[in-house]
Amino acid sequence: MSAFQSGLEGVVVAQTEISEVDGERGRLIYRGGNLIEGVWQRNVPEIAHLLWYGRFPTAAELADLERVLASRRALNPAARAALAGLPVDADPMDALRTLLSAAGAGPGCPSPSIDQAKTITAQAATALAAFWRHRRGLPPVEPCAELGHAENLLYMMRGERPTADEVRWLEAYLVITADHALSPSTFTAQIVGSAGGDLWSAIVAAISTLKGPAHGGAIAAATAMLADAGTPENAERFVVDLLDRGGRLMGFGHREYRVYDPRARLLGAVCREANPAFHEVASAVEEAALRELARRYPHRPNFTNVDFFAGGILSRLGFDPDFFACVFAAARVVGWSAHVVEYLDRGGRIISPKSEWIGPEPASDPG
């Protein structure tokens, strides 16, 4: 009997202590049994230390990590030259991939390390902000050593310090999406690392995977859908008409979760505060959608996922819809790098699965 599983469905290809998706109970677990609900209000360096090293940092370790991130944010000359050469209408994911590839270009192929992860995490935010300004015909803003990771990202976009609330909203998004077990982009990064590739190459490959609409495009699609819904009063009719036409409700259903995505619950709370008008429409659509999906497909789990409320937060912070996946990528660099280094530290072999031949037998032996 064939062992083939399309999409590697249910096939275990790695072991990890970094994060776990408990789809049956709707839990996302970060290192050490920390549920996402208990850690989402930490800052990015704290969560990065947790995912990279397996524990939260001491005060001294946190201060040191923040200092290192601050010292590595600036783009090098190669990345600046690449930025200048990018067309302003380039896809932001292409821009992020290009800038990080240029930033990491160097001699040889150094083995992935957490030290490299710190540099890429710092520079991903800078690259994102730099292209956001490049698209508007503005020069990049240099990072400020006095500001934290999330605050710097918004500062480098705008050229002025964001409010404390804005920093808190972005920090929450970056923490909640920092890792999610073995997603397609994470697996891609692991494959590159397993072949002996450096961490920059692994992250660039992961970004290329995330660019695919089936992986990283759902936030923008869900946001556009909610804009089409228009008003809370129109939510019921919008949902019914969309489903009657055979359309798809974006932001519902997940390959892993059989119940409500815990990240969606947390992001919904952030969205309610950050963008009340968006949240009002989204909540009305969500209520109608969950009711209608349960009625039409009673045996299929179709609950709210992480993408549904995210666009309300990111748009409130000034990100264009086609930048949403870039922000996701800047957050996920932490998780991607953690998984690559863990796989190698465990002595992981080069990932080389088999394919199953289903073509015709040769007409005759060549002998």
**103: CB partners within 8 A, 6+ apart:** 75, 76, 78, 79, 123, 127, 200
Question: Hey, which residues are catalytic here?
Answer: 254, 307
Phi then psi for residue 19, to 5 deg, are: -155, 155
- Of 10, 35, 6, 7, give the one whose Cα is nearest residue 256: 10
Position 26, amino acid: G
- What does the domain layout of the chain look like in residue ranges? 19-206+323-345, 218-315
Kindly give the confidence (pLDDT) of every residue in the chain, 367 residues in length, as a single tens digit, with 9 standing for 90 and above.
Answer: 567 777 777 778 889 999 999 999 999 999 989 999 999 999 999 999 999 999 999 999 999 999 999 999 999 999 999 999 999 999 999 999 999 999 999 999 999 999 999 999 999 999 999 999 999 999 999 999 999 999 999 999 999 999 999 999 999 999 999 999 999 999 999 999 999 999 999 999 999 999 988 888 889 999 999 999 999 999 999 999 999 999 999 999 888 888 999 999 999 999 999 999 999 999 999 999 999 999 999 998 899 999 999 999 999 999 999 999 999 999 999 999 999 999 999 998 999 988 888 899 888 766 5
SS3 string, 94-158, reads: HHHHHHHHHHCCCCCCCCCCHHHHHHHHHHHHHHHHHHHHHHCCCCCCCCCCCCCHHHHHHHHHH
**270: CB partners within 8 A, 6+ apart:** 169, 172, 173, 309, 313
Q: pTM for this one?
A: 0.94
- The pLDDT, as a whole number, for residue 8 is 79
Burial class of 360 by CB neighbour count within 10 A (0 to 12, 13 to 18, 19+):
exposed
**E strand or H helix at 29, and its extent?**
strand 27-30
Residue 238 CA to residue 228 CA, distance in Å, equals 8
Fold of 218-315: Cytochrome p450-Terp; domain 2 (1.10.230)
Q: In this structure, which long-range contacts are made by residues 134-140, counting pairs with CB atoms below 8 Å and at least 24 apart in sequence?
A: 134/83, 134/86, 134/88, 134/95, 135/88, 135/89, 135/92, 137/88, 140/75, 140/80, 140/83
CATH 3.30.1490.100 fits 19-206+323-345, yes or no: no
